[in-house]
Structure 1
Amino acid sequence: MGSLIRSFFQSVMKMFNAIVGMAGIAMVIYGLWMIRVWQKQTGQSPFDDSDYPVPWFIYTFLGLGVIFCVITCSGHIAAETLNGCCLYLYMMIVFLLLVLEGVVTADVFLNHHWEQDFPKDVSGNLHELKVFVGENFDFCKWIGLSILAAQGLSFLLAMVLKAMGPHRERYYDSDEEYASTRHPLLRNSANPPHVAVDPLYMPNK
């Protein structure tokens, strides 16, 4: 019964972790699209040395997408192996990510001049994203809440799996009853033949 419950929690954690991975893939694709637009506008790659200011928004969005994908891979490995170190590392990374997202969200909603806290975005993609979110606020709100919920539930499930511990082999209380079924794999359990020796019998020399 414990193995079934553990397997269920593993599957659910992988499912929520996959949602975070899909969000990371979408962010990477959007970051690659912004790189393509930047190349068309400037004729140079944003990673090349040029006289243009650094397009930090492209770097940030692409980096966050890669981080989401790495977190998804580490979470899948932690859920599959139930290794204590992997689960601790996964929980620490997700916790730091949730704290960072909470700080940024609080700054955006509480500070009306939040754009001044960031450098000027020369690519203009930050402004385009802001306009898109404003026009589709309800849709973006539910997408953001879904990602946050998936991250939070993945964190809680990792805690539950860490508390449950790894799979353990089931041993019976009475090992003597099953000794004959286990030993043949290691050694020959057949009894040696009994040879009766007559002490009065002397071989002919």
Structure 2
Amino acid sequence: MRPSLCRSCLASLLKLLVFLQTFVGVSVLVYSAWILSYLKRHGDIDFDFDLDKVPAPWFVCALMGFGILVCLIAFTGHVAAEVISGCCLCFYAVLTTILVLLEAALVADVVFNKHWEDDLPHDSTGELKRLRAFIEDNIDIFKWVGITVVVVQALSLLLSVVLRAMVSKRRLDYDSDDDFLVIRRPLINPEGGPTYVATAVDSTGHHSDFWSSRMRQKYGLNQN
């Protein structure tokens, strides 16, 4: 009872962390969709694709792709926490690890590369510069937001690994129980054979006088 209760609590906590990640992904999607609608209203958007260059609103498309990726990973985590399946938990852990590594590589490039903007394609919408200026004006808030997101992802990854280990341990316990052969006897005779009244028989094979007197009394043979 206690292991199942512990798994349920960990699964509920994982669902909560996944909900927070979903909120982040949906927020990024709403922000990118708002930028696209704003650019479309002002006629500043151009989706002419060319093999030699990145499309003009590449930054907005990258934000939308990131939001979709976060939402898909969060959906996988919710399914894994709901069914507590080892395969789903392993898949969610792999996806979360890849996402964390990508985020860490991006942050490391921004921190250690002072000219990281020169490596990016030209953003004709100017949204990247506006977003950077907004982040610099509220750098303290965004630091805490970034730390919170990283902690949530790390905790969700840890919980998925722990739940995966618990599922594997439970499966091993079930396999070990199958090694023992349990012989069960039915409480009731399945054949249901007829029940006979025991009678006393003497050494010569004749019924005793007690049984004979009862039979004569039953069928009225004593009456003359």
Aligned residue in 2 for 1:185: none
Query: Pick from 81, 84, 87: which aligns with 1:79?
Result: 81
TM-score by length of 2: 0.74
Q: Does the 8 Å CA contact 1:21/1:68 hold for their aligned counterparts?
A: yes
SS, match of residue 42 in structure 1: coil
Alignment-derived partner of residue 139 in structure 2: 137
Name which of structure 1's ranges 160-169 and 31-40 shifts more when overlaid on structure 2.
Answer: 160-169
- Which segments of structure 1 move beyond 3 Å, counting only runs of 4 or more? 48-53, 166-171, 173-180, 188-191
Structure 1: distance between partners of 2:189 and 2:167: 36
Deviations 1:19-38 (A, max 9, x none): 11000000000010010111
Match of 1:9 in 2: 10
Judge conservation of contact 1:53–1:122 (CA < 8 Å) in 2. no
Q: Deviations over 1:30-88 (max 9, x none)?
A: 010010111022265x5x43799421101000011111111111001111112222111
Larger Rg: 2
Give structure 2 stretches of 5+ with no counterpart. Answer: 197-224
Report what 2:119 is aligned to: 117
Q: Say whether 1:163 aligns with 2:162.
A: no
Distance, in Å, in 2 between the alignment partners of 1:78 and 1:49 is 40
Q: What amino acid sits opposite 1:157 in the alignment?
A: L
Q: What is the identity percentage for the equivalent residue pairs of Structure 1 and Structure 2?
A: 33
Change (3 A) 1:50 1:91: closer
> Do the aligned partners of 2:44 and 2:125 also contact (CA within 8 Å) in 1?
no
Cα distance in 2 for partners of 1:34, 1:22 equals 18
Q: Which residue of 2 aligns with 1:33?
A: 34
Letter matched to residue 148 of structure 2: S
Q: How does 1:1-205 map to 2 (within 5 A)?
A: 1-42=2-43, 46=46, 48-49=47-48, 53-165=55-167, 192-194=192-194
| CA-to-aligned-CA distance 1:109-147 (integer Å, 9 cap, x gap) | 111111112111111111111011001111111111111
Secondary structure of the residue aligned to 1:120 is coil
- Taking the aligned partners of 1:50 and 1:76, their CA distance within structure 2 comes to 36
**Displacement of 1:195:** 5.6
